[in-house]
Amino acid sequence: MESVLSKYENQITIFADYLEEFPDTDDLVWILGKQHLLKTGGTGPSSDAGWGCMLRCGQMMLAQALICRHLGRDWNWEKQKEQPKEYQRILQCFLDRKDCCYSIHQMAQMGVGEGKSIGEWFGPNTVAQVLKKLALFDEWNSLAVYVSMDNTVVIEDIKKMCRVLPLRTDTDGESPPDSLNASNHSKATSACCPAWKSLLLIVPLRLGINQINPVYIDAFKECFKMPQSLGALGGKPNNAYYFIGFLGDELIFLDPHTTQTFVDTEEDGTVDDQTFHCLQSPQRMNILNLDPSVALGFFCKEEKDFDNWCSLVQKEILKENLRMFELVQKHPSHWPPFVPPAKPEVTTTGAEFIDSTEQLEEFDLEEDFEILSV
């Protein structure tokens, strides 16, 4: 897209003062022997107002996961207090710049691979797929992002994706010396044991047709009680919110619909973080007013956290007759084989070079996972 923009940008700038008088059209405009495209002036949208709320909610959920990953779940932000260097580095991931891993630019561009044009409104499942793909290029945070398909979380697949062998320190092909004693052998064995890659687990769900089915309410609320909870993405048609908890039958949410100016890195490498945090108190809405398309989020830093999450799901979610989602041990035999996602071989982390990785294990992105009435 950028090559097209650069080709015509100079030509369109000449007529910038007159473009509002032309019709909204994709047709070529011919003036004095040169062709112009009315819709390719500038460098794209200058704001995400009106279309970026679900992307911002996805950023919120991911930012919470990264805070848990680097600073711990009990860490709290305090205004005008010097923050850890990890915190500043987390902020760098979300700056509104094209070269930042989880910027609005990267998310919007990656959405093109999911069939969403830049400037088009996303649903919770699309945002989940976008985060899954962008995480492949994020070596510092080293997150494994698993997005459940067909309302099913597969334990075997997650463990295959999160268990990674540490880098070997010995030279390949060399056999251990004969003098290796039992103690050294034990250490060598433990060094080859799989490590756990921190897991961001996202479960897109459809909890009704036109409105949430009341039979899911108790199970939905139970998810916010879990120590692994990252809340939920959802909202109402054309209005996305980040749900972080509940009070009775009311959901507590953060609202991204506050237009703010661009923030960049300061000269000392830090980021002015005032607008990265809530400027108003969290809001509440009755759970029955929630659109039925949602995406639950969970973070498991270690394998024992995931095992604990599985136990809680077995106890609190799967006891219901009409279950929100399924948790199975083995990969379903009728599904295509599970292949852990891997970073494509590219020379840049720019999302414009990334095609749609995998094909979601040959499953289609169904619109019933998306918020309707857009």
pLDDT of residue 174: 47
pLDDT tens figures, 4-33: 333 333 443 444 444 456 666 667 778 787
Mean pLDDT along residues 53-75: 96
Tokens 């990656």 sit on residue:
110
Split at pLDDT 50, 70, 90, the class of 243 is: very high
Mean pLDDT of 152-159: 97
Global confidence as pTM: 0.77
Strand partners, 144: 199
Residue 101 annotated in active site: no
Is 162 known to be catalytic? no
370 against 214, higher pLDDT: 214
Query: pLDDT tens, 70-114?
Result: 999 999 998 888 899 999 999 999 999 999 999 999 999 999 988
Helix (H, G, I), strand (E, B) or coil at 314: helix
Residues 257, 272, 278, 307: which is the catalytic one?
Answer: 257
Range with the poorest average pLDDT among 35-39, 94-98, 127-131? 35-39
Q: Is the pLDDT of residue 125 over 90?
A: yes
Task: Output the pLDDT for position 292.
Answer: 95
Q: Is the pLDDT of residue 39 over 80?
A: no
Active site residue 257: yes
- 185 has pLDDT over 90: no
Residue 41 pLDDT class (50, 70, 90 cuts)? low
Q: Identify the active-site residue in 53, 57, 223, 300.
A: 53
Residues forming a β-bridge with 251? 246, 285
Across residues 310-337, what is the average pLDDT?
A: 93
Question: 157, 255, 291, 305: which one is catalytic?
Answer: 255
Cα–Cα distance between 147 and 131 in angstroms, integer?
9
Give 18's DSSP letter: G
Residue 349: the pLDDT is: 42
Distance CA 130, CA 116 (A): 11
Ordered alpha helix ranges (H), the chain: 2-14, 53-70, 85-92, 104-112, 124-134, 155-162, 182-191, 217-225, 303-316
pLDDT grade for 368, boundaries at 50, 70 and 90? very low
Q: How far apart are CA 72 and CA 250, in angstroms?
A: 27
**DSSP conformational letter for 176:** P
pLDDT band at 345, cuts 50/70/90? Answer: low
Taking the C-alpha atoms of residue 133 and residue 144, their distance in angstroms, rounded to an integer, is: 10
